[in-house]
Amino acid sequence: MDIQELRKKEDLIDIFYNLVSIPSPSLHEEKVVEWIGKYCKNEGLHFETDDYNNVIIKLPATDKSKPIMALSSHMDVVGDDSPVIPELDGDFIRANNRTLGGDDKFGVASCLKLLTDIKKSDMKHGGLEVVFTRDEENGMSGIRNLDYKRLHSKYVIVCDADIFGVLQVSGASYCNGHIEINCKGGHSGIEIADKTKPNAAKLMAELCNEIPQGVYYEDETGVVTSINLGGIKGGDLNVTNVLNPHAEATYSIRSASLPKENELIEKVKNIVDRFNKKYAGIAHADAVFKQKMPAFERSNDTYIPEVFERTAKKLGIKYEINSFHAGAETHIYCQYENANGERFIPFLMGLADLYNMHSPDEKIDYKSFLNGYKLLNEFFKEFNS
């Protein structure tokens, strides 16, 4: 069987094929938006875009006593606008020696397929809102500029995890740290015995040795908070006769818990304070931390995980509910409110096994993708049961 035969056999694969065949690097998603608009018109689906050209599709409720669900995926991919030719390789779909764009067009395809199938069914549901965003890979400007007041669901399922059968309930923030040490400096041959002129590079090594490295806190969902030393700079490797007057180090802190993130930052600042007391009048260190992405913290609302678990068990799917130590659009959703003034409760769901993302070797296991759609379809039904 080749890719064309598979397309004829499976509507989901046909939708996916059409989407990945359209190059859509970040901030150049216009042709994908156009294709989705035509698809919605052909299927009789509501279609609109907000002021940032994010796509919003709404399926009206057939039973207003039931809750609304929102699904979200992004339309942009890593890569350029060169042609994408999907092909079948055993159980995998890959492209012509370039990034396939499965991230996140398998999510877009799954959402479109669900909209079509639910619209054609006679099931009673509370409504479905689907969001397709721009520029997730580059700067998340799409989700940051989304018109949230057009949405009424408080639950958002972001279909963007690359492991089939996973529901991720929290994700780490990203915080940059920068530490500088300044002292007098001098000539090592002449002033090496001057205790008022230490070497800033050596002092930085001492300070970094006191600062934690690696996993700081973890729970049953996995690593929650971590810290990593990015790099140290002090002096010139080709110059050895200088008592370096300046040194700096960079850190990253990731945490799915804001209290634990603040606790860790406070711990580092206390270490720096002790350093400054020890070397008062001789050297001084400054530490600055700046958050680049807020945390996606675990919600106390367990409804979605419970529905997911029931659905996976019903289908006999091996599932996992965990935390992830990276960023996604979930991190932005949870900072905003819907049209009803309710804070969004997002989750990240895996609908396919995607390998070697963002590389010419990227490939998707199409059988896991088909099973992922079954999971999503049954999940929506269970949500509305």
Delineate the domains of the chain, giving CATH numbers in brackets.
3-171+296-383 (3.40.630.10), 175-293 (3.30.70.360)
Please name the residues in contact with 67: beta carbons below 8 A apart, sequence gap of 6 or more.
Answer: 126, 153, 155, 383, 384
Summarize pLDDT for 206-237 with one digit per residue, the tens. Answer: 999 999 999 999 999 999 999 999 999 999 99
Residue 96 has pLDDT above 90, yes or no: no
Query: Backbone dihedral region of 257: left (phi > 0), alpha (psi from -120 to 50 degrees) or beta?
Result: beta
In whole angstroms, give the CA distance from residue 144 to residue 151.
Answer: 14
In this structure, the strands spanning 222-233 and 214-219 are antiparallel
Summarize pLDDT for 18-35 with one digit per residue, the tens. Answer: 999 999 999 999 999 999
pLDDT band of residue 2 (cuts 50, 70, 90) is very high
Summarize pLDDT for 98-107 with one digit per residue, the tens. Answer: 899 999 999 9
In whole angstroms, give the CA distance from residue 218 to residue 296.
Answer: 15
Please name the residues in contact with 137: beta carbons below 8 A apart, sequence gap of 6 or more.
Answer: 26, 74, 76, 77, 78, 103, 358
152, 64 contact by CB (below 8 A): no
Instruction: Determine the average pLDDT of the residues in 328-345.
Output: 98
Summarize pLDDT for 66-77 with one digit per residue, the tens. Answer: 999 999 999 999
The pLDDT value given to residue 259: 96
Instruction: Determine the average pLDDT of the residues in 323-331.
Output: 94
- Determine the longest span between alpha carbons in the chain, in angstroms: 88
Take residue 238 and report the two structure tokens written for it.
Answer: 């080709």
Q: Does an H or E element contain 204, and which?
A: helix 200-210
Residue 285 has pLDDT above 90, yes or no: yes
Query: Backbone dihedral region of 118: left (phi > 0), alpha (psi from -120 to 50 degrees) or beta?
Result: alpha
pLDDT > 70 fraction of the chain, expressed in percent and rounded: 100
Q: Does an H or E element contain 102, and which?
A: helix 102-120
